[in-house]
Amino acid sequence: MRKIISFIAVLTLILSVHNSANACTNYLITKGASVDGSTMISYAADSHVLYGELYHWPAGTWPEGTMMDVYEWDTGKFLGQIEQAPVTYNVVGNMNEHQVAIGETTYGGLDTLAKQSGAIVDYGSLIYITLQRAKSAREAIKIMHELVSRYGYYSSGESFSISDKNEVWIMDLIGKGELGKGAVWVARLIPDGYVSGHANQARITTFPLEKEKNSISSKNIDKIFDEGIECVYAEDVISFAKEHGLYKGKDKDFSFSDVYAPVGFGGARFCEIRVWTMFNKVAPGMDKYWDYVKGDITHPKPHKKGEPVTPENYASNRMPLWVKAEKKVSVQDMMGFMRDHLEGTELDMSQDVGAGPFGLPYRWRPLTWKVDGVAYCNERATATQQTGFSFVAQSRSWLPDAIGGIIWWGVDDASGTVYMPMYASITTIPHNFAVGNGGMMEWSETSGFWIFNQVQNFAYTRYSLIHPDVEAAQQKLESEFVDFTPAVDAGALAMYEQDKDKAVAYLTDYSNSAAEKTFKTWKNLYAQLFMKFMDGNVKTKKEIPEGYKYVNPDLKQPGYSPEKYRLIIEETGDKFKVKGSAH
């Protein structure tokens, strides 16, 4: 009897309540675009029912014939068994001990190409199985292709960010539905010095074909490791579309996104706009795409339903897949990108009446709504209230893998989280953020997810007053962690040269202590904020003067802004007018 192991066993406690993380954001930074020469990708796993906890798979060796159970990440549904690899690597969150990191965003794509019967590998399993097996981004792409080809692809369309210490790739993939087994896909290397991003809209359009010297199809997948290869694609990515009446035109003009996931109003306004906010911070000239990301999409010729897509049907005003970074990006810049609320644009949600009296830059769902039969939308900024967890994965080629990979990881809304340094080689996960410590409907006093939600949801009540205190605590901790990183690296490197295991133990202790400090700080922050802002007041503690037993805190009652008071009067007239003397 063959030995059977359970894939993602540490996740089975939460999978039944995990829903599709279909509102996610990834930013991709190459070595030449970063301040320090590291590669970085970010990821926000946004779902209203995703419990934020830090996943971990220890490294292992497995006897021949070992099988693993695969469960769908979104639902916990058992999908089947696949063969285990002989050797698997340590994985912390979405990064492994070889500095390989993978993120995703769901774009869905054509309904006819959704789930396929008998498929075993969903997009979440695809990520975490690959991280356990890949030593480079290129190997990760090869493994992902092999997994979906052999076992079928269970999910809808996905974009993936795949990075290692030297390269960053973007991959758009969609299953074949009931029309075939596996998936069609394209992966492209982001040119050094450039940045890219995706946020629930497929972004790869046309791409170089195999006759070009830098491109290969999956029939020659082993050549992915050849120097100079910058594009890899499923060998039937075009023929499949032609065979099933999805595309009509020359192969060289084929656009993956325009055929398999055409961009519409929602794809631009709710998804591409998140990419635009990052591009706009690092590259000039992004104003010319503002109308596009607001949802004003132009086509030379509209596509007629039921007919094959032709190049004339493509959107003609799309943003580029990548842009050159005129301003180099630091790890703290990346954290800031994840906290964007469309500030400085006409769509800044803190500036309209929906923000309430305290400038709240969020809108509660549903995303779209109607008034008198006319549909309207809320904005979908990068920072959103329903984030389960998010991270910035940083890979640094000048250090040994055990030290070079850091996943800066946090729970809940990125605007109110603290990105903690979790070295990707650590062997023990911090208790406050470990799988099984609480759940979406299971309260835990020691859960980092719940204390961050307590603080942030309290901040939502009077955002303009409370959030600055949250941000100050956030920035203090993150700055300390970033500033201390060179010293931690140096200490670990000195140990590594003598004993790798001691270095890993040292980094494990450090990462755990950083998480513990963050949890305790946020516990105390919630208490301080609650006392300070309770009952609509703003109270500040004062020193007790000599001769006094106690002294009351300084009390302010800021009320609303003059503009908000004026809005009240414009709506209510003299309803609240004071007549005679008011005491």
Q: 500 and 486 share a domain?
A: yes
| pLDDT for the residue 457 | 98
| pLDDT for the residue 260 | 98
Any domain includes 260: yes
Q: 18 and 84 share a domain?
A: yes
| pLDDT for the residue 2 | 38
**Coil, strand or helix at 554:** strand
Any domain includes 577: no
Q: 542 and 520 share a domain?
A: no
Q: 450 and 563 share a domain?
A: no
User: 483-496 burial, b for 16+ CB within 10 Å, e for fewer?
Assistant: eebeebbeebeebb
| pLDDT for the residue 22 | 60
Contact (CB, 8 A) for 170 and 196? yes
Any domain includes 16: yes
The whole-angstrom separation of Cα 244 and Cα 248 is: 10
Domains identified in the chain, total number: 2
Q: 478 and 542 share a domain?
A: no
Count Cα neighbours of 495 within 13 Å in the Cβ-side half-sphere.
16
Q: 554 and 520 share a domain?
A: no
Q: 542 and 484 share a domain?
A: no
DSSP 545: P
- Global pTM reads 0.94
Any domain includes 375: no
Any domain includes 346: no
Give the number of other Cβ atoms within 10 Å of residue 465's Cβ. Answer: 17
Amino acid at position 473, single letter? A
- From residue 359, alpha-carbon distances to 18, 78, 469 in Å are 31, 45, 15
Q: 240 and 297 share a domain?
A: yes
The answer to whether the Cα torsion of 26, 27, 31, 36 is positive or negative is: negative
Q: 503 and 557 share a domain?
A: no
Any domain includes 555: yes
Any domain includes 581: no
| pLDDT for the residue 213 | 83
- From residue 260, alpha-carbon distances to 158, 172, 247 in Å are 11, 10, 9
Residue with tokens 């140990």: 495
The whole-angstrom separation of Cα 456 and Cα 452 is: 6
pLDDT in tens, 524-536: 999 999 999 999 9
The whole-angstrom separation of Cα 208 and Cα 253 is: 10
| pLDDT for the residue 583 | 58
Q: 294 and 209 share a domain?
A: yes
| Segments of the chain with pLDDT less than 70 | 1-22, 581-583
Domain housing 565: 538-572
| Axis-axis angle for helices 448-461, 463-496 (nearest 10) | 150
Provide CB contacts within 8 A for 285, sequence distance 6+. Answer: none
Phi, psi of 555 (to 5 degrees): -120, 130
**Coil, strand or helix at 407:** strand
Q: 530 and 542 share a domain?
A: no
**Both structure tokens of 140:** 């990760």
The bridge status of strand 183-189 relative to strand 231-233 is: antiparallel
pLDDT in tens, 4-28: 444 333 333 333 333 344 679 999 9
Q: 568 and 501 share a domain?
A: no
The whole-angstrom separation of Cα 66 and Cα 85 is: 8
Burial of 41 (0-12, 13-18, 19+ CB in 10 A): buried
Any domain includes 369: no
